[in-house]
Each structure stands twice: as C-alpha cells, then as structure tokens.
Amino acid sequence: MSLSPVEVESLALHVAHMRGHVVIAGLGMGLALYNAVLHPAVRQITVSECDSEVVALFARITGPGWPESGRFSIERVDARDWRSPEPVDFLYVDIRDKVGASEAAADTRTICRNLRPKSAGYWGMEADFVLFLARKLLQAAGDASTVSGLGACASVCLSQPTTVALGSRASRMSQPS
C-alpha cells in the first residue's frame, strides 16, 4: 500500500484498458479506484478488500471531495473467493505488497476463474514480463546460472529508464508521459 512512482507507473498501463464494470482487487490507498472513477469509459467500480483497517483508513482519508462516490462500492471480501453478481469488463488485481511477488500471477488467475472478466491485469505484471524476457534471453544464451538472481533486479529495471537491446535494434523504455 503506497503511492510510490513504481506503483503509479504500473497502474497507468492498466487504467487505459479500464471500461464498463471494473473490479479492483485490493483497495490500498485508493489510487486505482481514484483513477478508475476519473476514467470516462468506466461505468461502475467494485472494489474487493478483505482488511477492515484498510477500508477504515480509506474512509478517513476521503470525504465529500472524493469524485463520484456513487459509481463505486467496496465489498469487504477476499478477492480470491468473491463472485460478482454482474459481468466484469476489466479486473485489476493489487493485493500483494511487493512488485514481482511470485503469487501475483496465480492470484490473478484464481480471481479471473471466479469473475470471468473480459480483460485483466495486475500490479507488477510488467515486472513479471521483464523477468520472463530476461530468463528467455539467458536460457537462449546458455547462461542458466544467473537466471535465479533476476527477481530482485526486475523492479529496479522498471523504476529507471533502461536501454534494452533486442537483436540488432535497441529500444528505450522510459516513464510514461
């Protein structure tokens, strides 16, 4: 639960895909919810949060100035067990406290099986992708000894602009504008 640059940047990739009925698994500080409420293509937002202290904190930090509170509801449930009574267009899962947490993808798959969203993403998904690519490149190069140490560097790679060589071309990955 934070508002760190990595969290903000990771969320930005998913907000662009939010449409219709959005389910956000994990309330945190409300950053995903705030962005979903401001997104014109989002009709309704359901947040699943199992921690009553997080819900109470959110209630204290928001107030009458919070945008369009009639468009969202907060369900005090474990997202991995909850079923939506309405079809879900987009699911965003943010229930882990570390980018690249090994359980994040599995949690998202579990929630997707329950909700059947049209589209889904999770916090740290891009870190998992960077790690996947690095493993593939190292395996192709036959350097399996360094594959296991890549987990820690994935979040560092994502927090700084990086030049990545892909074949004979290099592309620059930078912070979203």
- pLDDT-derived band of residue 172, with 50, 70 and 90 as boundaries? very low
- 14 and 50 part of one domain: yes
Q: What are 92-125's pLDDT values in tens digits?
A: 999 887 776 778 888 999 999 999 999 999 888 8
- 91 and 9 part of one domain: yes
Share of the chain above pLDDT 90, in %: 41
- 27 and 96 part of one domain: yes
Q: What pairing do the DSSP bridges indicate for beta strands 72-75 and 90-93? A: unpaired
Q: What are 15-49's pLDDT values in tens digits?
A: 889 999 999 999 988 989 999 999 999 999 999 99
Q: Which residues lie closer than 8 Å to 38 by C-beta, 6 or more apart?
A: 67
**Residue 150 scores a pLDDT above 60:** no
**Residue 73 scores a pLDDT above 90:** yes
**pLDDT confidence of residue 19:** 96
**pLDDT confidence of residue 163:** 31
Instruction: Give the whole-angstrom CA distance, residue 87 versus residue 85.
Output: 7
Distance from the Cα of residue 63 to its chain's centroid? 25
- 167 and 96 part of one domain: no
**pLDDT confidence of residue 68:** 72
State the residue range of the domain holding 65. 5-124
- 114 and 144 part of one domain: no
Q: What is the pTM of this model?
A: 0.73
Of the two residues 139 and 83, the one the predictor is more confident about is 83
**pLDDT confidence of residue 156:** 42
Of the two residues 42 and 69, the one the predictor is more confident about is 42
- 17 and 58 part of one domain: yes
* Mean per-residue pLDDT, 76-80: 96
- 164 and 106 part of one domain: no
Instruction: Give the whole-angstrom CA distance, residue 141 versus residue 9.
Output: 31
Instruction: Say which CATH number the domain at 59 has.
Output: 3.40.50.150
Using DSSP's 3-state secondary structure scheme, residue 57 falls into helix
- 106 and 117 part of one domain: yes
* Mean per-residue pLDDT, 53-78: 87
